Structure 1
């Protein structure tokens, strides 16, 4: 298994950037399209938990908007072979002094010729912590 083949990393980065833009723009259709629509999908949010694509979609319909001041820091994309990846990032915004952390597990479950090169999020975790001194 090859780790971090440049062309696979680039595909996951494009899908991640599309998700992040949809998040900031509150483009629910794109966010939903980038999450696996299956009972096995898990999303652990800041103050909530969703199990399954249906629960994630229902939550998105009623959640507060992400602040437009959201900025990413220290994003790491790691790919495993051609069909599995993780994306880890930190984020800040004007809405809170806390440091946000976000981890996603991505899998290529659709044809590579499809939207987002077939990549979708199969698990995600978002949390907030006190910002560590000196950036952690």
Structure 2
């Protein structure tokens, strides 16, 4: 079996879903963030300070999160699709509130009848190995 990697239309769809997620994240648009996660007990989000299992835990976290300090700059974003129904988005991010740090985010996306949804996510923050924190 051969899996088509980066089918152009599929990749464009996932890039649009990722962009929508990013806009919702920095705007703290909880309704869109909730919409873009797969409603399933198997959905996982490992955050910088929390481990969330299942859609309900993720939604509860989002509804209780402070909207302050969510602005960020992305760098080295890589979006890859595998077939027409699965993809991975990975990016680095920088926040002014975390000088000298770089955030890392990876998401596994799946296509559903309702559209692209995050089935698994991982966010971590480490010392910036490049030291710049510029997101260039």
Q: TM-score, normalised by structure 1?
A: 0.90
Count of residue pairs brought into register by the alignment: 129
1:93 aligns with 2:104: no
Per-residue deviation at 1:66?
5.8
SS at match of 1:31: helix
Per-residue deviation at 1:69?
3.5
- The structure carrying a bigger helix percent of its residues is 1
Whether contact under 8 Å (1:101, 1:126) holds in the other structure is yes
1:119 aligns with 2:116: yes
**Which ranges in structure 2 are unaligned for 5 or more consecutive residues?**
none
**Which ranges in structure 1 are unaligned for 5 or more consecutive residues?**
none
> Residues of 1 paired with 2:98 and 2:8: CA distance?
35
Per-residue deviation at 1:68?
4.9
Q: Which residue of 2 aligns with 1:35?
A: 37
SS at match of 1:67: coil
Give runs of aligned pairs for residues 35-114 of structure 1, distance below 5 A: 35-65=37-67, 67-97=69-99, 98-110=101-113, 114=114
| Bigger mean CA deviation after superposition, 65-74 or 86-95 | 65-74
1:132 to 104, 110, 129: 129
**Structure 1 consecutive aligned stretches of length 4 or more whose deviation exceeds 3 Å:** none
